[in-house]
Structure 1
Amino acid sequence: MSLLKGVRVISFNHFLAGPHAAQMLGDMGADVIAVEPLDGAFQRNWAVAGHFVAGESVNHLNTGRSKRSIALDMKSTAGRAIAERLVAGADVVMENFRPGTMAKFGMGPEDLRARYPRLIYASATGFGATGPFAHRPGQDLLLQAMSGLAAHTGPSEGPPVPLGSVVIDHHTAVLCVLGIVASLFAREQTGDGRRVDVSLLQSAIDLQGEPLTAWLNGAPHDDGPRAPQGVASWFSSAGHGIHRTADGCIAISMAAPAVLARALDLPELAEVSPETMLKERASYNRLIVAQVATRTTAEWQAALDAAGVWNAPVEDYDAVRENPQLAHLGAFQTATSSGGAQVTFVSHPVHYDGATLPIARVPQPLGAQTREILAEVGYAADEIETFLTDDVVRAASAA
């Protein structure tokens, strides 16, 4: 399914947010050309938990599919000329370097949009393209700390807690794709390109829209930014959170005190008002924690389901892989990597006409399409061989 067929994207991205955004565009049918240094972009050479599969970094496997690869020395005159020729035929240019980096090569947003008025130039930065923090290094954990996300995560009895996934990077990627697709639509109407800027910082704020709006507009928070042990958040009432059972943990969603009293066999809650349940949540939550610990997760699921209280067992990644609903949705797909290993990928998360997009191209070896990309933009075979000999570009070895 080629929803973005005919759209060419030149990706100068590295690490996570930018490459993941480019991958999503490729999943949707865009022709994404990943331009990497001669020794490969960062994500090829650094892996989650130091793990490589058949010689391929897990980071690259996570963000490298649905693209073609060209390895190019942008510091050389010939390399910059090749990059310029690639950009000349592009609809979208993407990068996620610190502000000003691409301008050093004469390929900043102002440079390129002046030469190519229809071009959409998308930048993902840590803190934004301008401003007092613009040149700071941006990384997910740092932005969790600065945005209030970490301060509002974890129980009040302990320190702030980082989330178990790099959610800000992933959300930044989605916002980048949103901006690019909207700009492509607008260009069809106006004929003009556009600059798209997203940042980890503002993405982190966007992730917290509900609690931030409450906090900034006077919602009570007398006991601080985090809730007592087991309660989900600073604005949650007693019971709404994750609690230990006799054999695991269970998440219990918001419910009226009287309903919780029946479901959990806690008559002490029967006459408690919702306002009191929130105001005195620490003491009431201790009752709930003690009671939930007396039975198994399955027993509580049955009791909560019978009372109409939303709930879910706390599952690790092994259980998630076996989740029947995720299997139905096609959330994971297994394919043979370029290194010959069977790799399980996280699927493109959107369904189109009820269908999950298949993996059209697994992550490619560095420079796998160098020759064909150069030929497409008009270089003759002897010129390409000269570039290879002069180390302006690199190509993957023939299989």
Structure 2
Amino acid sequence: MSRPLTGVRVVEMAGIGPGPHACMVLADLGADVVRVVRPSQATDHHANEHTLRGRRTIVADLKDPADRDRVLDLVAVADVLVEGFRPRVMERLGLGPDDALARNPRLVYGRMTGWGQDGPYAAMAGHDINYISLTGALHAIGTSEQPVPPLNLVGDYGGGSMLLVTGVLAALVQRGSTGTGQVVDAAMVDGTSLLLAGILELRTDGTWNDERSNNLLDGAAPFYATYRCADGGFMAVGAIEPQFYALLVAGLGLEPASLPDRDDTTRWGQLRSTFAVAFGAQPRAHWESVFDGSDACVTPVLDFDEAVQHPHVVARRSLTRDSAGFVAAGRAPRMRDDESGVVGIGSTESWETVLAAWGGPPH
């Protein structure tokens, strides 16, 4: 069975971070993605670069007018172009939106940056930690003593590549009704802000404050936290709803009447200490067996090598191992009858081969 984006042709201008990740998702969904790399990048990759899976590569010196024209030949028969350079770089190369859409008015031109195509910081360098710091997200994450970056999941991927994929897919739908292309300005600072919608809603309602480790979902609530076990492992607890909380208490072997009111935030410290003593009395494997399959919302905190072996992760193929034995992300979302698993990196091909496959003009 073909995947949803089968037949969609994507030109990916090679970059790092969210751009390649977005193109990985598009390729996983069936798009034919051709990655354009600089000559210096032609052999600069490793077999375990999972975000490069599922697409072919061609080499181009974008400062060479002949290679630039070849890229435009490819753009002329493409559906999508994805680039992650700083603002105005593609324009200076003669490959900006106006140049590309002049060759192909149906093209969806996806742009991935940290700060966006305009604004005071548009031309400034940055990384995930900077984009999430400026939006308030980083301030809300961490201990009471200091903010802690949540890897680079929030800015680069949640607010970056996922927002770009959403914009590209929306533009393809729009093109289906209008017949014309679109320019997608995806910025990590915007995407991070979008991800904060629910937290900002709680803040507006007065149920969230700006003091870290003092809210329901930031580790302050004793029923939404992690606990160390006797062997040094950890269990994650997310028993927010009363019925799930009751199952947590029962699984820990505690008497409900002896516990503080869970809604009394002034006694959260006391309740946390009680839970910590209970979890600390047994190794993680014990608590895994107690709560396995339970609606208590209690699960082990696994490292990557453990996670790839967990029965549910194995069944869903959420994580798997590639041919070299490295842990890799599976495809998501899954479609009916869709095959899953890790796909290898495609080969480097000639311009003539790719243009012929896409029905483009010979150069």
Q: Give the TM-score normalised by structure 1.
A: 0.79
What is residue 350 of structure 1 aligned with on the other side? Answer: 333
- Check 1:313–1:32 CA distance in 2 against 1; reply closer, same or farther (3 A cut): same
- Output the aligned Cα RMSD: 2.9
What is residue 97 of structure 1 aligned with on the other side? Answer: 85
- Check 1:7–1:355 CA distance in 2 against 1; reply closer, same or farther (3 A cut): closer
SS in 1 for 2:99: helix
Does residue 199 in structure 1 map to residue 187 in structure 2?
Answer: yes
What is residue 119 of structure 2 aligned with on the other side? Answer: 131
Unaligned runs of 5+ in 1: 46-54, 381-399
What is residue 180 of structure 1 aligned with on the other side? Answer: 168
The aligned runs of 1:8-47 (5 Å cut-off) are: 8-40=9-41, 45=44
The aligned runs of 1:232-271 (5 Å cut-off) are: 233=218, 237-247=221-231, 248-255=233-240, 256=242, 261-267=249-255, 270=258
Contact 1:68–1:369 (8 Å) recurs in 2: no
Match of 1:56 among 46, 52, 73: 46
SS in 2 for 1:154: coil
Amino acid at match of 2:7: G
- Check 1:146–1:309 CA distance in 2 against 1; reply closer, same or farther (3 A cut): same
What is residue 225 of structure 1 aligned with on the other side? Answer: 212
Q: In structure 2, how many angstroms separate the alpha carbons of the residues matched to 1:132 and 1:97?
A: 17
What is residue 67 of structure 1 aligned with on the other side? Answer: 55
Contact 1:127–1:134 (8 Å) recurs in 2: yes
Q: In structure 2, how many angstroms separate the alpha carbons of the residues matched to 1:20 and 1:27?
A: 10
Q: In structure 1, how many angstroms separate the alpha carbons of the residues matched to 2:124 and 2:267?
A: 42
- Check 1:138–1:311 CA distance in 2 against 1; reply closer, same or farther (3 A cut): same
Q: In structure 1, how many angstroms separate the alpha carbons of the residues matched to 2:271 and 2:341?
A: 49
Q: In structure 1, how many angstroms separate the alpha carbons of the residues matched to 2:331 and 2:246?
A: 42
Contact 2:11–2:80 (8 Å) recurs in 1: yes
SS in 2 for 1:39: helix
Residue 260 of structure 1: CA displacement?
5.1
**CA shift digits 1:128-170 (9 cap, x unpaired):** 11111211223223223333333222332x3221224534322
Q: How many residues align?
A: 355
- Check 1:221–1:344 CA distance in 2 against 1; reply closer, same or farther (3 A cut): closer
Contact 1:155–1:227 (8 Å) recurs in 2: no
- Check 1:161–1:359 CA distance in 2 against 1; reply closer, same or farther (3 A cut): closer
Q: In structure 2, how many angstroms separate the alpha carbons of the residues matched to 1:369 and 1:26?
A: 20
Amino acid at match of 1:323: H
**CA shift digits 1:38-76 (9 cap, x unpaired):** 1117xx74xxxxxxxxx7164xx2211121111101101
What is residue 148 of structure 1 aligned with on the other side? Answer: 136
Q: Give the stretch that moved more between structures: 175-184 or 138-147.
A: 138-147
- Check 1:344–1:254 CA distance in 2 against 1; reply closer, same or farther (3 A cut): closer
SS in 1 for 2:125: coil
The aligned runs of 1:151-162 (5 Å cut-off) are: 151-156=139-144, 158-162=145-149
What is residue 4 of structure 1 aligned with on the other side? Answer: 5
The aligned runs of 1:280-359 (5 Å cut-off) are: 280-301=267-288, 308-334=295-321, 336=323, 345-357=328-340
**CA shift digits 1:307-333 (9 cap, x unpaired):** 852200111111101011111112345
Q: In structure 2, how many angstroms separate the alpha carbons of the residues matched to 1:88 and 1:305?
A: 54
Contact 1:330–1:356 (8 Å) recurs in 2: no
Q: In structure 1, how many angstroms separate the alpha carbons of the residues matched to 2:260 and 2:341?
A: 52
Residue 241 of structure 1: CA displacement?
0.5
**CA shift digits 1:349-378 (9 cap, x unpaired):** 121114334556x2135x434441255533
Amino acid at match of 1:212: L
Match of 1:373 among 330, 351, 354: 354
- Check 1:177–1:281 CA distance in 2 against 1; reply closer, same or farther (3 A cut): same
Unaligned runs of 5+ in 2: none
Q: In structure 2, how many angstroms separate the alpha carbons of the residues matched to 1:289 and 1:119?
A: 56
- Check 1:205–1:190 CA distance in 2 against 1; reply closer, same or farther (3 A cut): same
Contact 1:262–1:307 (8 Å) recurs in 2: no
- Check 1:333–1:272 CA distance in 2 against 1; reply closer, same or farther (3 A cut): closer
- Check 1:262–1:335 CA distance in 2 against 1; reply closer, same or farther (3 A cut): closer
What is residue 394 of structure 1 aligned with on the other side? Answer: none
**CA shift digits 1:147-199 (9 cap, x unpaired):** 3333222332x322122453432222222122212221221111111121211
**CA shift digits 1:244-289 (9 cap, x unpaired):** 111221112225476655443444864643431x343233322322
Q: In structure 1, how many angstroms separate the alpha carbons of the residues matched to 2:209 and 2:154?
A: 25
